[in-house]
Structure formats: C-alpha cells, structure tokens
Amino acid sequence: MRRSNARKGLWLATLAATVWVAGPGSEGADSESSGPALTLFFIGNRMSEIEPCGCKENQLGGVQFEATLYAEVPAARSLRVDAGAWTSLALNPERSMRTRYALRAMGGLLDLDAVNVGQPDLEQGPDFFEDVGAKHPEAIARLVSANIYLKAEPGRLAFPAWRMVEKTIDGEQPLRVAIAGTAAPLDKTSKAAQFRTRRFEADYVIGSAADALNEILPEMKAGADLTVALFHGTWPETVELARAVPGLDLLVSTSRPPTVETGPILEGGVRILSVHNAEGKELGRAELRRGADGWTVVGQPVWLPISPQRLVADVAALQLLKEFRANTEELIVQAPRNPTRTYAGAQYCGICHVREYQDWVKTPHFHALDTLIAKGSQYDAKCLQCHTLGFQKDNGFYNVNESRSMGGVQCETCHGPGYEHAAKQNLVRNGSVNAMNPEDRARFLADLKRLNPPSRVEAGTCLQCHTPENDAHFDYDLKIRKVNHEISPPG
C-alpha cells in the first residue's frame, strides 16, 4: 500500500491551525496553558567533523558553537540526541582521530543524552571502541544500539540497546525518557553501498531494527513517559520502521523525506523527525509537548545553522579542539629515505624563473603552510593535502619538520612535477651540455624541449583545492589573473 497522503495532509492541516514557530528564544504564548514541554535537539551524519576548516568565512559547524545552542535550554528541560553516522567513510588515522574527538565532545561537553551507532560507525572496529572507552569512558557511555550484535558471540549486543534519562521540568514530576538506537543493515544494492567499505562485517552483525525495537519497547514503555528511537538508514527504511513499531512515540532518523521539507511526519502513529544536514552544520530543534493523547511536536521543527558568525564559542569546546590539534602531531608521517625525485621545489625553479618566483611569493599560495602553522593545524593530514606540494608523494611534503621547503601551493602544483626539467636546464645553464659529444647533445636537447612544463594551467587543477566547500565562489577567469605572474610588470 502506498503512503496515505490524504491522512498526512489532514494531519499537517490540523497542525497548521495550532502552529507557533519555535525559534531559539521565542516564547510560546501558550506555554503555560499546556502540559509539560521538552525541547528536543537532534543532529546526525557528523562524518567525523568537529569543526570546519576555516578556509572560507561563514562556514557552518563546530562543536564549540553547537555547545552554545544547547546552552539556550537547560539540560533538564532538553533532550539532546545524535542519530548516528558520526564517522566518515574514509578510514585513516586522521579521520579516526577526528571521530575520537567527536565522541569525546558528544559524551562530554555537549552532554548528549544518547548517541546512536550507525553502520558506518562500526567501520572503526571493536579495537577503536575499546581504546576510546579505556581512555575516555564518557565518550562511549551514551552509545546505544538495539540491533547491532557481536559476530563472535551470536545474540550478544555490542552496545546497550537503550538508556533511560530523567528530565525535570519546573514544577512537574520528573519526566523519564527511554531512548533506543537502531541501524539499518547495509543494503548492498543501494547507491550508498558502493562508497562504503564493509570491514564491519568481520566483527558485527546488524539484525532487524523493527524486531529489536518491538522486543524492547514494552520494557522501555513500562518505565518511561516518552519513548524515542534513533535510526540510521535511508528514508524508505525509516518509514518502514515507523510502521513496524506503532507503539513508539518518536523516531529520529538520519534521512530526510524526499518531498516534505519540514515535519514532523506521522507514519503508523509514530512521529518522525529528520536530520537535514551533514557534517555537523545544523542542529534540529523541536518542541515536544504532552497533551491528553500523548506527545506531539508543537509547531514546526527548525534546523538551526551552527554559525560561527551568530554564536559565541564555548570555551571548554575550544580547549578540546586545541587538544585535538596538539594530538594531530601523532599523525606525523616520516619522509622516505630515498624518495623518487619528481619535484624540484619552488626555490630551485626560482633560480631561473626569477620574475615568476618573485610574483609567486606575493600570492597567498606562498604562505599556505604558514596559515596552517598559525592555526596549529600543521600536522593535520586533512589540511596538508591542499596547503602543500606533493603531499605524501615521492619527494613531496611529508611533515613540517623535514619537508618545510615543500610547504605551500608551489610552482609544481600548477605546472606539474618539474625536477627533470629543472635539473636538465641546469646542465644547460652551467655549461655542462657543451662538453657532451654532438650525438648525446642532440638527444639531450630534444629531451629538453619535451620536458618543458606546460605553462597553461587548466581550471580543473585549481578546482582540486578551490572546491565549493573551501571556496564557494571560485571564478577561474577572475582568479587566474592573480596567479599568472602578472602582478609585477614584465621585466
């Protein structure tokens, strides 16, 4: 049967009649006349992001600003949940370290009530959870999942299925909220699946979310005033789950419906709220109220931009981010002993191309590594790939201690590796070529022409770094004039 749009429409219409928009700081005129109200903050799909890179102003995100939004409502009157996928799919030491700090933030200073474990999150593997848990118990203490099992011990859950939290709204009885976690097993035919590794299958089994929820729901309901399930999966899976667990009050999903922009959506008697954005850029907020027929969402949920421009940074979070940056030093990669020499480095090029060199020094590309040093991000592999030359390739940049001369966006970033060109031109320059016998010399000179680096730089080269994320309005025709060595008059 298809989703009943008529019913949904009716419900939305009913809702519209009683709507007041719940924005931050806005006071509901009817707040005193109704039953207890609870502010729900919901987020998900962090993908290891704890703070934007800072390449561009106005970038959204950052746990230091997320913390500020939570602070607008006392913890006792708010529910804070993460619906999962706080790990990015790229598994490397830098991403794992970011994930570790994301967990520490969620369990520590952000003080979330529950954090769901999604399928991508399992990719980190049991050793990761064990290690984080041993060093920072608070970081994993709020993880919940009712349908992720340990492969080695059939039937045994890898995380607590659900947790109960108590809230105290002024002048009311304590309010008990039961929050369960659920994940969709990886649909191997889905588009998303092709981007995902399946390392998790070695250690975990994901069972049916609906079966697991139905099994624990009576127990959850017995002690709780409100039951919530967090879910990581696609939108169709979200709807399917809601219909399969009619007794549940609220489902918070990492996926959003394809058509309806706001919400909540009612399916099978369950209200669904959706995370709208990824990488920790927006925080969902909804006002929940208990009336005569149970819980409702008052008005429309809102998705608050986590905006550095509008919010004041939380000091404790800044401290955590500082610690993160200091810890990235652990990610240092040693330069190989005898690397293949494909890069010459700007200083070498500059011996002959003096004018181009002097112009380049005046561009921000020259000091791109210094920018990272100033921020304390000089060990962060995520940043270095765009702020250095030949990151972890051949004799390119490896680390700030050993390969400082390959720092910044250099000549060879745009013109391609040029060691051979430089070395051979040097033989011309120092006269060695004149000592060659005519045959060798002819071959050498033919080679020399072939090795000339292309001077024209295509837009695609710039766009590798000037991505929409890092430079939203990059205009090749405009910006090329700032890097084509015409800053100084031709000499």
Binding residues for ligand HEC, rule: CB under 6 A, are 53-56, 344, 346, 348-353, 356-357, 360, 364-365, 367-368, 371-372, 375, 377, 380, 382-383, 385-387, 409-415, 418, 421-422, 425-426, 429, 449, 452-453, 455-457, 461-462, 464-467, 470-471, 479-480, 482-485
- Contacts for 158 with CB less than 8 Å, ≥ 6 apart: 117, 126, 145, 148, 149, 150, 204
* Rounded-to-integer distance, Cα 254 and Cα 87, Å: 13
CB-nearer residue toward ligand HEC: 52 or 263: 52
- Token pair listed for 488: 């100084």
Residue type, 375: K
Task: Tell me the closest approach of the beta carbon of residue 343 to ligand HEC, in angstroms.
Answer: 7
CB-nearer residue toward ligand HEC: 312 or 351: 351
C-alpha 311: how far from its chain's center?
20
In 224-308, which ranges are continuous DSSP H helix?
235-244
CB-nearer residue toward ligand HEC: 290 or 421: 421
CB-nearer residue toward ligand HEC: 150 or 445: 445
Task: Tell me the closest approach of the beta carbon of residue 263 to ligand HEC, in angstroms.
Answer: 33
Other beta carbons less than 10 A from residue 216's beta carbon = 17
3-state helix, strand, coil split of the chain in percent (to 5) is: 40, 15, 45
Task: Tell me the closest approach of the beta carbon of residue 377 to ligand HEC, in angstroms.
Answer: 4
Q: Is the CB of residue 241 less than 8 Å from the CB of residue 259?
A: no
Task: Tell me the closest approach of the beta carbon of residue 404 to ligand HEC, in angstroms.
Answer: 15
Task: Tell me the closest approach of the beta carbon of residue 283 to ligand HEC, in angstroms.
Answer: 21
Instruction: Write the CA distances from 14 to 29, 45, 418, integer angstroms.
Output: 19, 31, 69
Residue whose structure tokens are 């997320």: 66
CB-nearer residue toward ligand HEC: 126 or 339: 339
Residue whose structure tokens are 């002690």: 223
- Token pair listed for 43: 């987020």
Going 90 to 94 to 100 to 105, the CA torsion angle's sign is negative
CB-nearer residue toward ligand HEC: 160 or 350: 350
**Judging by DSSP bridges, how do beta strands 270-274 and 265-267 pair with one another?**
antiparallel
CB-nearer residue toward ligand HEC: 138 or 420: 420
CB-nearer residue toward ligand HEC: 16 or 374: 374
Residue type, 340: T
Task: Tell me the closest approach of the beta carbon of residue 94 to ligand HEC, in angstroms.
Answer: 10
Task: Tell me the closest approach of the beta carbon of residue 338 to ligand HEC, in angstroms.
Answer: 20
Task: Tell me the closest approach of the beta carbon of residue 86 to ligand HEC, in angstroms.
Answer: 17
Task: Tell me the closest approach of the beta carbon of residue 294 to ligand HEC, in angstroms.
Answer: 45
Q: Is the CB of residue 39 less than 8 Å from the CB of residue 77?
A: yes
CB-nearer residue toward ligand HEC: 26 or 464: 464
φ and ψ at residue 243, rounded to 5 degrees: -70, -25
* Rounded-to-integer distance, Cα 157 and Cα 263, Å: 32
> How many residues are present in the chain?
491
